[in-house]
Structure 1
Amino acid sequence: MSTLDTASPESTVRGRSGEHVWLSFAVRRLVRLLVSVWVLLTAAFGMIHVIPGDPVRAALGQNAPAALVEARRAALGLTDPLWQQYLRYLGDLFTGHFGTSMSTGLPVSQVIADRLPATVEIAGYAFLVAVVVAVPLGAGMAVLTRGGRRGRTELAFTSTTVVLAAIPEFLLAVGLVFVFAVSFGWLPVAGRGDPASYLLPVAALAIGPAAVLSRIVRVEMLAVLHADYVRTARAKRLPSAVVYLRHALPNALTATLTVAGMLLGAMVAGTVLVENVFAWPGLGSTIVQSIIAKDYPQVQAVVLVYGLGVLLVNLVVDVAIAVLDPRSLKKEG
């Protein structure tokens, strides 16, 4: 926070016994995380009993003898009561056993270990690109258009970001492939290989979130530019770079960080469609292939990985906001 604030966040929290506030914060977040994980695990388990079709029949083929199908179902424990299957499922997860793929016969944990890095790469790169583009763009537009200045520039920025944010990742990915890979032949159509193969999938994931985040940054920056401590900094004739970068921008990033965390979760989910457009060998393409093959243990495990990833991102964002703005702890208390 700005050094020109009348009361520092640290002193605000310290006045309410800082250690107690942080302990209460940690307990609340831990309880929320545990409840969310339990809901996620239960939903993933129930999913395989709701999706129509027989996974064993799909794995063995429609012409497989009924006796073989029943024997396979018994071996997998699918004939046991539902509560027994649920307890066994939880026990296996706590021991790190995700089951065996019905379509490949490989341990699901091995499939996840092989495919997860590819998904993390494009989601992580896309998030970095979105933040690196959105923060200076939004802050710069706030400075240029503050006080109603440059109305046409503001209209162009708002219109462009609204359109870009409204385009689904899947449609954007198809458009990028058509323009840069098919029409001009500048970039690879699909696959994960040299650095050029990362450009289109990362762009498909990053463009929409960057448009959304840049608008949030602009709105927050405009509000901060009218704050008393910014006017005080200007009255002291501080250089513009110091006013904007030291006093204004850090105070505008708290809400931006919250939105960025939400967008990162959306990016992780968006990899499912984008990976299938670019034949990217990650978890997104794996889950679609598993659904088609009715490979429910693999679907179940991949859904868990995606869900846990989103929960961890939200936890990290909550902690980061508390560290950057300790007064948020007071608001929760």
Structure 2
Amino acid sequence: MLKHLAGRLAEALVALLLMSLVIFLLSRVIGDPVALLLSDSATEADRQMLIAQLGLDQPGWRQYLTFLGNALQGDFGQSVTAGREDALHLVLSRLPASLSLAGIALLFTLVVGILLGVLAAVTRGTVADLAVRLLALLGQSAPSFWLGIMLIYLFAVKLGWLPTSGLGGAVYYVLPALTLGLFTLAAITRLVRASMLEALGSEYVKLARIKGVSEWAVVLRHALGNSLIPVVTFMGTFFATMITGAVVVETVFAWPGIGRLAYESIMARDFPVIQTVVLVITAFFILANLIVDLLYLAIDPRMRARS
């Protein structure tokens, strides 16, 4: 197990290093930050002085090595638009809002998705199964920006039940969490349904039924436990996807998270903040998958035997 963990950690470091290079290169092709920092009355001498201060007059490889060395020390530079605030501090200040929203959305999708998946499996071929599959299809087809706008129009504008935007009490989480979690809810529902159908047709379930075990005990004790292994496998990916996919949702609901910060930074061509946001998100994605690997080893004896 330790060997497996060491290998995964090495893969994570390589992936993070490659992502830092990709982000560094991409951020250089979306615009010129010098043009944003200089006033209209700035001279060419002012421009050259600012380029030298930012290190943009150095070769690309040297700029990357400088960026990488500073990043290892926790220095990701300063935002060029947010009053020269430290980029890492700016991203970390927005991170709790995104994590809380993604956590609530994931909890909602896990509870509802598992219940709907089990319901669809045990009522296979009925109206209930058809309704659940239709809901899953709609959930994976509806664009998040359109869904968010429709929910705002219905529950905030027309009915006046919920706030339209911002971060506050529990009611502020309802619409963005529902919008963010619907796609994952559909994925979990379909995944649980498929796993449950496979488990219900397995030999150990047939044996339990032959022994006279009640149907609900067969479903909950024997079939559901094994059906949740694929959900655990993808849970880290689901959580990381919610954080990375929150750019649109946070923009629609004016949610003060790193998704909205990423959008604002891209629009302003704020290189340091863009790099920091993407690297932080990448680190969370890698960490989430590493935790899921460890959970998978804990719940699946076959994986422990292989490792």
TM-score when normalising by structure 2: 0.95
Aligned residues: 306
Written as runs of structure 1 = structure 2, the 5 A alignment for 1:1-40 is 22-40=1-19
- Please give the alpha-carbon distance, in whole angstroms, between the structure 2 residues aligned to 1:126 and 1:157: 19
**Does the aligned pair in 1 maintain the 2:243–2:259 contact within 8 Å?**
no
Select the residue among 58, 66, 69 that pairs with 1:88: 66
1:126 aligned to 2:105?
yes
54, 70, 93: which one aligns with 1:114: 93
Instruction: Please say if residues 34 and 47 of structure 2, whose CA atoms lie closer than 8 Å, have aligned partners that are also in contact.
Output: yes
Measure how far apart 1:238 and its partner are: 2.1
Q: Could you tell me how far 1:330 is from its partner in structure 2?
A: 4.8
Of residues 107, 132, 136 in structure 2, which corresponds to 1:157?
Answer: 132
Distance 1:57 1:157 in 2: 53
Task: Give the alignment partner of residue 315 of structure 1, picking from 269, 277, 290.
Answer: 290
Q: How does 1:133-144 map to 2 (within 5 A)?
A: 133-144=112-123
Give the ranges of 4+ consecutive aligned residues of structure 1 lying more than 3 Å apart after TM superposition.
none
Alignment RMSD, CA only? 1.6
Q: What does the per-residue CA deviation read over 1:169-205, in whole Å, with 9 as the maximum and x for residues that have no partner?
A: 2121111111111111111111101211111100101
Q: Is the 8 A contact 2:298 2:304 kept in 1?
A: no
SS of the residue 1:46 aligns to: helix
Corresponding residue SS for 2:294: helix
What residue is the counterpart of 2:189 in the other structure?
214
Change in Cα spacing, 1:42 to 1:278, as seen in structure 2 (3 Å) is same
Look up the match of 1:259. 234
One of 141, 150, 168 as aligned partner of 1:175: 150
Q: Please state how far the C-alpha of 1:329 moved relative to its aligned partner.
A: 4.8
Mapped to 1, the partners of 2:195 and 2:92 lie a distance apart of 40
Deviations 1:247-289 (A, max 9, x none): 1111111112223332222211111110000111111111111
Of 4, 22, 34, the match for 1:56: 34
Contact 2:119/2:129 (CA < 8 Å) preserved in 1? no
Structure with higher RCO (Cα < 8 A, 6+ apart):
1
Greater displacement, 128-137 / 285-294: 285-294
Q: Letter of the aligned partner of 1:222 in structure 2? A: L
Measured at CA, do residues 261 and 110 of structure 1 come closer, stay the same or move farther in structure 2, by a change above 3 Å? closer
In 1, Cα distance between the equivalents of 2:118 and 2:171?
30
Q: CA deviation at 1:138?
A: 0.5
* Residue 97 of structure 1: aligned partner: 75
5+ residue gaps, structure 1: 1-21
Q: Secondary structure at the match of 1:50?
A: coil
Determine whether 1:229 maps to 2:207. Answer: no
- Gaps spanning 5+ residues in structure 2: where? none
Change (3 A) 1:62 1:250: farther
Question: What is the aligned-residue identity percentage?
Answer: 38
